[in-house]
Structures are given as structure tokens and as C-alpha cells.
């Protein structure tokens, strides 16, 4: 079902400070910055690698307010890994398959994600404590 790890989502208090850290420490490059009101985040994607199944990224997430998903996570657990995003070919079909296996879907239909992706989250309580995101990247035009 999974094509690759699309991204690892990391919660932080200060997006610009963490971007500077990842750039200077690991030499990563920011390829996208977006505010996603629906998800309650300001986020940046930093390119890590290119594989057969597509690219992989680190996603740095700063909450837009304390009441958001990432805001609540930071208050409870502090900065750190927030979710894993797996690349899938078809997020709607993946959701149907996974729902049939008894895993609670946070999103029963795809939402708008970073860089034009269609995304959906699965409940961490049904995935061994790991907030899991499905990511269908837009088709490449090349
Ligand atoms: C909460 N919990 C987590 C967690 N967040 N466990 C593992 N990883 C996380 N990230 C646990 C929490 O410790 C509680 O367990 C329990 O779940 C309920 O948490 P809560 O604080 O009461 O919060 P809820 O229930 O209001 O919300 C939790 C969920 C929420 C996961 C349902 O955060 C959510 O809907 N997340 C999906 C959307 C999202 O995260 N968006 C931001 C990324 P205990 O303590 O009771 O045992 S946006 C993104 O990635 C984009 C745009 C992209 O990739 O393109
Ligand atoms: Co994500």
C-alpha cells in the first residue's frame, strides 16, 4: 500500500528557528512554505531524498494557535516527532482498505495538504500511538 515515507512531521514552537537549524546542521533545503488554516499550521517542507517512489521530506510544523492539533500536542508533549506521512498512489482507495481493517479514520475523505497533495489522517490510538498520514502527491508533469 505504501510507496515510500513521504515525510516526517515535526512539531516546533518557532518555525523559522527550526528551519535555520535544519539548514545549517544538515544542509537541507526548504522547497515549500505554506499556511494551512484547515489543519491549523504554518509549515515548511525540507527536501531529504529522491527515491523510485518519489521524494521524501521533513515537514516542520508550527501551530497557528494553542487550540489546534499541533498546539495541543506541543502543550502535552513538547517539541518532537508529530506524525509519519506515507506516500500512497490513491488516498481514497487506501482509506477504504484501511477502514475495512478497523482503524479509525480521522478524515473519511481527503483534505488539502502541502504542495498540492491530497492527505488523510488515521487515529494514533489505533496505530500504536503513531499519528499516521496518507499522502497522494500530485502527478508529476515531466
Ligand atoms: C494526540 N495524540 C497523539 C498525537 N496527538 N498521539 C500520537 N501522536 C500525535 N501526534 C494522543 C494524545 O496524547 C491523547 O492521548 C489522544 O491522542 C487525544 O489527544 P488530544 O490531545 O485530546 O487531542 P484530540 O483528540 O483533540 O486530537 C488528536 C488528533 C488530532 C490526533 C485526533 O491531533 C488530529 O486530528 N490530527 C490530525 C490533523 C493534524 O495533526 N494536522 C496537523 C498536521 P492520551 O494522552 O489521552 O493517552 S498538518 C499536515 O501534516 C499537513 C498539512 C501535510 O502534511 O500536508
Ligand atoms: Co504532514
Per-residue pLDDT reduced to its tens digit, 87-108: 999 999 999 999 999 999 999 9
CB neighbour class for 41 (10 Å; exposed up to 12, middle 13-18, buried from 19):
buried
Banded model confidence at residue 139, pLDDT cuts 50, 70, 90: confident
> What is the C-alpha separation between 49 and 93, in angstroms, rounded?
26
Which value, in Å, is the radius of gyration of the alpha carbons in the chain?
A: 15
Is 39 a catalytic site residue?
no
pLDDT, tens digit, 9 for 90 and up, residues 46-60: 999 998 889 999 999
Among 66, 38, 37, 48, CA closest to 9: 48
Residues near ligand 1 (Cβ within 6 A): 9, 36, 39, 41, 59, 61, 69-70, 72-73, 76, 82-83, 85, 106, 113-114, 117, 119, 121, 124-125, 129, 131, 133
> What is the C-alpha separation between 9 and 44, in angstroms, rounded?
10
- Mean pLDDT across the stretch 69-77? 98
| CATH class of the domain at 7-136 | alpha beta
DSSP β-ladder status, 80-87 and 132-136? parallel
> What is the C-alpha separation between 33 and 105, in angstroms, rounded?
27
- Contact in structure between 23 and 65 (CB atoms under 8 Å): no
DSSP state, residue 105: B
Residue 140 has pLDDT above 90, yes or no: no
Q: What residue segments make up the domains of the chain, in order of their start?
A: 7-136
What cell numbers appear for 59 in the block?
Answer: 515537514
pLDDT at 121: 98
Q: What ipTM was reported for this prediction?
A: 0.98
> Per the residue annotation, which of 43, 62, 82, 136 is the catalytic one?
43
pLDDT at 142: 55
Amino acid at each position: 500500500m505504501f510507496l515510500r515515507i513521504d515525510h516526517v512531521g515535526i512539531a516546533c514552537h518557532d518555525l523559522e528557528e527550526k528551519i535555520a537549524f535544519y539548514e545549517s546542521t544538515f544542509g537541507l533545503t526548504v522547497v515549500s512554505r505554506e499556511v494551512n488554516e484547515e489543519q491549523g499550521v504554518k509549515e515548511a517542507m525540507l527536501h531529504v531524498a529522491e527515491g523510485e517512489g518519489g521524494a521524501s521530506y521533513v515537514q516542520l510544523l508550527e501551530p497557528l494557535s494553542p487550540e489546534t492539533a499541533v498546539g495541543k500536542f506541543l502543550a502535552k508533549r513538547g517539541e518532537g516527532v508529530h506524525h509519519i506521512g506515507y506516500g500512497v498512489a490513491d488516498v481514497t482507495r487506501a482509506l477504504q482498505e484501511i477502514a475495512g481493517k478497523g482503524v479509525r479514520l480521522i478524515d473519511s475523505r481527503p483534505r488539502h495538504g502541502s504542495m498540492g497533495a491530497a492527505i488523510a489522517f488515521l487515529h494514533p490510538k489505533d496505530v500504536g500511538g503513531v499519528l499516521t498520514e496518507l499522502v497522494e502527491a500530485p502527478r508529476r508533469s515531466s
